[in-house]
């Protein structure tokens, strides 16, 4: 059973080691490697020898992998594992799906025989449930555990540990709550970005005539529809109520009908009311295309709230960083919480302990694999040896993490499955029926009353 108190301990570890996480993300290197480099980063951020990981053993066979990635993200992942496939002779059978929680939960309920060998995990809360169900394998025999712990922030190692056993690894980290825009429409805000929410509202008013609406927002994501909206609400909660309130909220210690929570939902409602295409587009357009109207002529919107991974999706993947799009951090709402940052990461676990799966898991966390992974420009590595970021934008994202006054992990990812699912559905309902907010929040209180006692 996952208890809020044990999870709070994990989050406290993240907050205490935010600087370490950031150290894994910041760099001044600009070169894209043609092969996976090895070793530790030097003063310039370029990875140097001689701490090479031994070459994988030739074993043959196949391994099945399930993850959320599609498009350019999937291509980067497959490019990362290609050297391992060549070295081991193993064929990777990859399946990409945005309905990952449904696929895994259904397979576990059916006994687990149809589970993939390796899979991305929806979040820490689900990871704990899968581990407690006896489905996730202990990774201590699959990984070079001392190297993994030495090269990974302790907070992330702790988040992947259940009952003293490491069952989840972070392939990457992301900075959430960024505000994206087209410099050709609103101008270059790299040195003049609004610092406060009031300044931001003034900017939107000034530039109102430059686009059909201030905001772009899309929350469709298959069975997981609604999760993109959780990121927006979480930004409001963090920046109005602060990290302690935020952590108590996802841990089930703050009622959804709390006045502070109500105010944050209403803030989110104002964004919905001023978003391009209205509720219909918000609910039906895939989240990966949420920001596409930024680039239309005339523009459909001025701004998009999204995590750093958006640069590999939709129209963003076809545009040029810094020239066609840029970002600034979520503005301060309450002064004392300025500089607070929300982050997340892609967790992976192993459901079948085969030689092929164990070898791939060990490769995924190596500096060689991670250096190749981030060279495409869409990911930030959780490996402290890796610093070969190929562009200034990723270096800036790393700087946001390094400059964070506090760091919190994605709230919905840490809620029990029943609470998380209800949260997703509640946001979908609110987008469609904003006049029903009171009953929506009351229903979430009802779910909360049982969700934290039945896991």
Q: Express each pLDDT in 267-316 by its tens digit.
A: 999 999 999 999 999 999 999 999 999 999 999 999 999 998 898 899 99
pTM of the model: 0.75
Tell me the pLDDT of the chain averaged across its residues: 86
CATH 3.40.190.10 residue ranges for the chain: 4-175+345-407, 176-342+410-451
**Per-residue pLDDT for 103 more than 80?**
yes
The CA distances from residue 347 to 126, 137, 440, in Å, are 10, 14, 30
Q: How far apart are CA 294 and CA 215, in angstroms?
A: 9
Q: Using pLDDT thresholds of 50, 70 and 90, give the confidence band for residue 28.
A: very low
The torsion region of residue 226 among left (phi > 0), alpha (psi -120 to 50) and beta comes to left
Q: Using pLDDT thresholds of 50, 70 and 90, give the confidence band for residue 402.
A: low
Residue 150, judged by CB atoms within 10 A of its CB (0-12, 13-18, 19+), counts as exposed
Say how many C-beta atoms besides its own lie within 10 A of residue 343's C-beta.
Answer: 24
**Per-residue pLDDT for 48 more than 70?**
no
Q: How far apart are CA 368 and CA 389, in angstroms?
A: 14
Q: What is the pLDDT of residue 304?
A: 98
Structure tokens at 287: 């989240």
**Per-residue pLDDT for 10 more than 50?**
no
Altogether, the residues listed in the chain come to a count of: 455
Mean pLDDT of 97-118: 91
**Per-residue pLDDT for 46 more than 70?**
no
Mean pLDDT of 164-187: 94
Instruction: Give the residue, 57 or 205, on which the prediction is more confident.
Output: 205
Q: How far apart are CA 127 and CA 107, in angstroms?
A: 14
Q: How far apart are CA 274 and CA 288, in angstroms?
A: 19
Report residue 93: phi and psi, to 5°. -100, 100
Q: Using pLDDT thresholds of 50, 70 and 90, give the confidence band for residue 128.
A: very high
Residue with tokens 């109520």, as numbered in its chain: 241
Q: How far apart are CA 271 and CA 264, in angstroms?
A: 11
Mean pLDDT of 325-340: 95
Angle at Cα 72 formed by Cα 71 and Cα 78, nearest 5°? 95
Q: Using pLDDT thresholds of 50, 70 and 90, give the confidence band for residue 152.
A: confident
Q: Express each pLDDT in 225-267 by its tens digit.
A: 999 999 999 999 999 999 999 999 999 999 999 999 999 999 9
Cross-strand bridge partners of residue 406: 340
Structure tokens at 385: 């040896």
Residue with tokens 């070459």, as numbered in its chain: 55
**Per-residue pLDDT for 30 more than 70?**
no
Q: How far apart are CA 31 and CA 28, in angstroms?
A: 10
User: Do the bridges between strand 406-409 and strand 340-350 make them parallel or antiparallel, or are there none, so unpaired?
Assistant: parallel
For the sheet containing 326-328, what is the strand order? 213-216, 301-306, 178-181, 326-328
The CA distances from residue 229 to 118, 325, 428, 451, in Å, are 28, 21, 8, 21
Q: What is the pLDDT of residue 455?
A: 53
Q: Which residues of 364-388 are buried (b: 16+ CB within 10 A; e: fewer)?
A: bbbbbbbbbbbbbbbbbbbbbbbbb
Contact assessment for residue 22 and residue 402, using Cβ atoms and an 8 Å cutoff: yes
Protein fold of 4-175+345-407: D-Maltodextrin-Binding Protein; domain 2 (3.40.190)
Q: What is the pLDDT of residue 223?
A: 87
Cross-strand bridge partners of residue 95: 66
Contact assessment for residue 370 and residue 386, using Cβ atoms and an 8 Å cutoff: yes
**Per-residue pLDDT for 405 more than 90?**
no
Mean pLDDT of 43-60: 53
Mean pLDDT of 19-31: 36
**Per-residue pLDDT for 4 more than 70?**
no
**Per-residue pLDDT for 352 more than 70?**
yes
Q: What is the pLDDT of residue 376?
A: 76
Structure tokens at 63: 């391994």
50: cis peptide before it, omega within 30°?
yes
- The secondary structure of 218-276 as a DSSP string is --BBTBTTTHHHHHHHHHHHHHHH-HHHHHHHHTT-S-TTSHHHHHHHHHHHHHHHTBT
Helix (DSSP H) and strand (DSSP E) numbers for the chain: 18, 15
**Per-residue pLDDT for 24 more than 60?**
no
Range in 38-42, 164-168, 281-285 the model is least confident about: 38-42
Say how many C-beta atoms besides its own lie within 10 A of residue 141's C-beta.
Answer: 10
Cross-strand bridge partners of residue 207: none
Instruction: Give the residue, 390 or 2, on which the prediction is more confident.
Output: 390
Q: Using pLDDT thresholds of 50, 70 and 90, give the confidence band for residue 394.
A: confident
Contact assessment for residue 447 and residue 422, using Cβ atoms and an 8 Å cutoff: yes
Q: What is the pLDDT of residue 397?
A: 84
Contact assessment for residue 347 and residue 62, using Cβ atoms and an 8 Å cutoff: no
Question: Could you tell me which of 112, 119, 73, 113 has the C-alpha nearest to residue 93?
Answer: 119
Q: How far apart are CA 330 and CA 339, in angstroms?
A: 9
**Per-residue pLDDT for 390 more than 70?**
yes
The correct answer on CATH 1.10.10.10 for the domain covering 176-342+410-451 is: no
Structure tokens at 93: 């059978």
């Amino acid at each position: 059973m996952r208890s809020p108190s044990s999870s709070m301990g994990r989050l406290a570890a993240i907050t205490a080691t935010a600087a370490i996480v950031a150290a894994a993300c910041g760099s001044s290197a600009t070169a894209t490697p043609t092969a996976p480099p090895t070793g530790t980063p030097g003063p310039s951020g370029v990875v140097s020898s001689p701490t090479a990981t031994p070459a994988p053993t030739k074993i043959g066979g196949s391994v099945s992998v399930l993850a959320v990635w599609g498009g350019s993200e999937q291509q980067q992942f497959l490019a990362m594992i290609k050297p391992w496939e060549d070295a081991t002779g193993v064929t990777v059978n990859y399946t990409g799906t945005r309905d990952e929680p449904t696929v895994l939960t259904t397979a576990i309920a059916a006994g687990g025989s149809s589970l993939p060998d390796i899979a991305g995990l929806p979040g820490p809360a689900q990871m704990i449930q899968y581990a407690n169900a006896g489905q996730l394998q202990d990774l201590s025999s699959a990984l070079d555990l001392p190297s993994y712990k030495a090269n990974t922030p302790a907070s992330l190692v702790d988040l992947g540990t259940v009952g003293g056993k490491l069952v989840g690894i972070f392939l990457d980290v992301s900075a959430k709550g960024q505000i994206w825009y087209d410099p050709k429409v609103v101008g270059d805000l790299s040195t003049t970005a609004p610092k406060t929410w009031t300044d931001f509202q003034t900017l939107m008013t000034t530039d109102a005539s430059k686009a059909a609406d201030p905001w772009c927002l899309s929350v469709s994501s298959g069975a997981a529809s609604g999760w993109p909206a959780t990121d927006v609400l979480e930004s409001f909660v963090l920046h109005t109520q602060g990290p302690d309130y935020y952590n108590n909220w996802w841990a089930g210690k703050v009622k959804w009908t709390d006045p502070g929570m109500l105010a944050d939902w209403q803030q989110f409602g104002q964004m919905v009311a001023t978003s391009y295409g209205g509720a219909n587009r918000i609910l039906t357009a895939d989240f990966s295309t949420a920001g596409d109207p930024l680039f239309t002529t005339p523009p459909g919107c001025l701004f998009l709230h999204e995590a750093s991974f958006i640069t590999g999706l939709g129209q963003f993947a076809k545009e040029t960083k810094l020239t066609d799009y840029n970002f600034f951090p979520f503005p301060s709402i309450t002064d004392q919480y300025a500089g607070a940052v929300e982050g997340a990461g892609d967790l992976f676990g192993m459901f079948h302990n085969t030689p092929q799966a164990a070898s791939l898991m060990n490769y995924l966390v190596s500096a060689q694999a991670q250096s190749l992974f981030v060279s495409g420009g869409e990911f930030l590595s959780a490996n402290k040896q890796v610093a070969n970021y190929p562009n200034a934008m990723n270096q800036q994202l790393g700087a946001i993490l390094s400059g964070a006054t506090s760091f919190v992990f994605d709230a919905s990812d840490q809620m029990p499955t029943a609470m998380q699912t209800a949260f997703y559905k509640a946001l979908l309902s609110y987008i469609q029926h904003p006049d029903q907010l009171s009953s929506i929040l009351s229903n979430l209180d009802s779910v909360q009353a049982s969700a934290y006692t039945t896991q």
